[in-house]
Structures are given as C-alpha cells and as structure tokens.
Amino acid sequence: MDYVNSLLDLIGNTPLLRLSTSLDGLGDTGDAEGGPGAGPIVLAKVEYLNPGGSVKDRIATRMIEAAEASGELQPGGTIVEPTSGNTGVGLAMVAQAKGYHCVFVCPDKVSEDKRNVLKAYGAEVVVCPTAVPPEHPDAYYNVSDRLAAEPGAWKPDQYSNPHNPRSHYETTGPEIWAQTEGRITHFVCGVGTGGTISGVGRYLKEQNPAVQVVGADPAGSVYSGGSGRPYLVEGVGEDFWPDTYDRDVADRIIEVSDADSFAYTRRLAREEALLVGGSSGMAAYAAKQLAEELAGTPEGKDAVIVVLLPDSGRGYLTKVFNDEWLGQYGFVSGSGDETVRTVGE
Ligand code: PMP
C-alpha cells in the first residue's frame, strides 16, 4: 500500500508547471519537452500543493524540529507567534501533528476567516486592538512578547530564525535543482522575510554560480529602494530589513506595482488554471518580464526561469478575485468580461 503515516511527510516535493498562454506566446517554440534551445521557458513551483496550502509549511516544520532538538520547545509546550497568515497555518498544522499548543497574536484588522482557519487546527487566537500606541500593554507585539515569556512557551520568530532560510536551502533549492536537471538559469520569487530567496538562492548559486537570483518586490517596499509605503499585495515587501534576508544573494530586484500583480494573478487563474495569491501573480509577472528581456537573445534560448508561487488564491476571494474590491482601488481584473449573471433579473 502506498501511504504516509504523518501529514508532515507530505510537505515539499511540489511540482513544476510550465507556464504557457499567460506568457503571450513568449518562448512558445512548440517544444513541449522544453529541451535545450527551447527557451526562454518559465516553470512555476506550485507551493499551494503543500498540505497547509503554502510554502510556509516548510519553515514551520524546520523551525519546530530545530527547537525540539535544542530543547527550546519541550513536549507539551506552547508555540507563540505574532502572525495570522501562512506561517500561522503551517505552525498550527505542525503543532497539531506533534501535540503542541499554539497561540497566535494578531491585530483586530485581520479577517475573521483567517482567524477561523487557525482555530480550526486547534490553535488559540488572541486579538489585539490596532488603535493603541505601540508602548501600550495591549499592543500586538507587547502581548506576544508577554505570552512568549511564559513558562513552556517558545516563539519561532520567522523574521530572525535562521531555520527559515535553512529550510529552503535544504529542501526547496535542491528540489528545483533536481527537477530542472541543473538547467535552471534564473530563479524568481517574492521577498517577505527573505527566507525563500536567501535559502534557495544560496543553494542554487553553490551548484552553479551563474544562476541569476531575482527578487520580485511591491513598489514601495525596502527591497526595491522604498521606505515601506503601503501596497496591497500581501505577504511580500517590508518596511525594515529582516535578519533572515541575505543581502548578498539577489542579483537583481524587479519592482512590480499592485495593479500589475493583481491583473497577472487574475490571468494565471483564467489562462493557466492556477488559482494563486497576489504575491504569486507579482512574482510570475516579474518572471514574464525577465522572459521578455531574454527572448531573442542567444542567452534566452537556453534560459530556464523558475518562479516560486507561495500560496493559493482561496485566501483572497474577497480581495484579488473580487472585481468590486479591485475597482475600489482603481484596478481592473485583467479580463473585462462579465463573469456573473444573475438568473431571473
Ligand atoms: N508570499 C506570501 C503569500 C507569503 O505569505 C510570504 C511569506 N511572508 C511570501 C510570499 C514571502 O516569502 P519569504 O518570507 O520567504 O520571503
């Protein structure tokens, strides 16, 4: 019989999918096998196929296992992290499988749907008011620090934990290298904590120093020279430089606007049947831009661009996939079609 005993054994080994129509004919050589000379080809690493639904399952397992090994996390201990996103889901899932308690601290602006996902795994969610000054005892970071200081508690802190980039150095990077049989020429991903780009980028460059590592970043974030100006794409871009970001690894950062990120996210669903989040659309847009630059050049013929798509679009149905929400910010869905018809009107 072919089965696993633990859900955790299903983390990683995600597939690569070659992008086609959304590239507007780029690299369309008719070579279905994508053999040498067929480039540029763009391959998407589909991370929503992890059991918790995102790339963050990888860092959750690695951070928890390292804390078990070091003794920071003891049997029956409590994991405390100020997050409501994919890292929370990954941690909640791994904690459930391993018998730990989880407490997530989040600001009150976080949607009820997101809180309910964490609760569904058995985690506790502490909601903090946004409308208090940072020094207030009820402020989000103060509450999480207080809870993390309690006996038996451990805080992974994905922004400073070296096991975040290390998980990508040990799993995501080697998978991509093996899946492309060492033919990868460019790696593209969005940058949040910087764990993905730093770990994957370092691994790939150790295999072949010529591999180009390209970060995709929302306009306004520090990685592309901004000061943290607000943008709407979630999970990527920062207003500070996290310890988990290796400043030496990226050869280039491509800045992508919210409008381009969202329009391309919608195209991925309609044209590639890839229902992914806005940060995936942002990264894939940057990968397409790279492919456009390489097309027609001698280098482009053998270019194999791998772009990492971090999560599913299911978590953004009321945002990126809602025309009214997009319209409120002046964005368009990228299709222009009327997709909903109400019967009987
Ligand atoms: N996209 C999404 C949806 C994310 O949740 C994250 C993690 N913050 C990223 C991209 C960026 O990954 P990393 O933190 O490894 O830079």
Q: Give the pLDDT confidence of 125-174 residue by residue, as tens digits.
A: 999 988 888 899 998 889 999 999 999 999 999 999 999 999 999 999 99
What residues are labeled active site? 56
Secondary structure element (H or E) that encloses residue 107, with its range: strand 101-107
Tokens matching residue 3:
């089965």
- Indicate the pLDDT class of residue 344, thresholds 50, 70 and 90: low
Counting from 1 in the atom list of ligand 1, the atom nearest the Cα of 199 is 15
- Asked if residue 40 has a cis previous peptide bond (ω within 30° of 0), the answer is yes
Integer Cα distance of 140 and 102 in angstroms:
16
Indicate if ligand 1 lies below 6 Å from the C-beta of 191: yes
Integer Cα distance of 235 and 221 in angstroms:
12
Indicate if ligand 1 lies below 6 Å from the C-beta of 235: yes
Counting from 1 in the atom list of ligand 1, the atom nearest the Cα of 195 is 15
Q: Are 211 and 205 in contact (CB under 8 A)?
A: yes
Residue with structure tokens 């999480």? 144
Specify the pLDDT at position 229: 76
Indicate if ligand 1 lies below 6 Å from the C-beta of 61: no
138 Cα: distance to centroid of ligand 1 (angstroms): 27
* Residue 340 pLDDT exceeds 90: no
Secondary structure element (H or E) that encloses residue 256, with its range: strand 252-256
Integer Cα distance of 265 and 322 in angstroms:
12
Please state, as a whole number, how many other Cβ atoms lie within 10 Å of the Cβ of residue 252.
Answer: 13
Residue with structure tokens 């086609």? 20
128 Cα: distance to centroid of ligand 1 (angstroms): 23
If one residue of 45, 50, 55 were mutated to test the ligand 1 pocket, choosing by the most ligand atoms within 8 A of its CB, it would be 55
In this prediction, residues 74-89 reach a mean pLDDT of 93
- Indicate the pLDDT class of residue 37, thresholds 50, 70 and 90: confident
Integer Cα distance of 29 and 145 in angstroms:
55
Tokens matching residue 197:
């780009």
Q: Which residue has the least CA distance to atom 2 on ligand 1?
A: 235
Specify the pLDDT at position 345: 54
As for the ipTM of the complex, it is 0.98
Q: Write down how long the chain is.
A: 345
In this prediction, residues 3-32 reach a mean pLDDT of 91
Integer Cα distance of 4 and 2 in angstroms:
7
Residue with structure tokens 């969610």? 125
Integer Cα distance of 201 and 165 in angstroms:
10
Q: Which residue has the least CA distance to atom 1 on ligand 1?
A: 235
193 Cα: distance to centroid of ligand 1 (angstroms): 7
What's the burial of 18, exposed, middle or buried (CB within 10 Å: 0-12/13-18/19+)? middle
36 Cα: distance to centroid of ligand 1 (angstroms): 31
Integer Cα distance of 239 and 75 in angstroms:
36
342 Cα: distance to centroid of ligand 1 (angstroms): 37
The residue type found at 83 is T
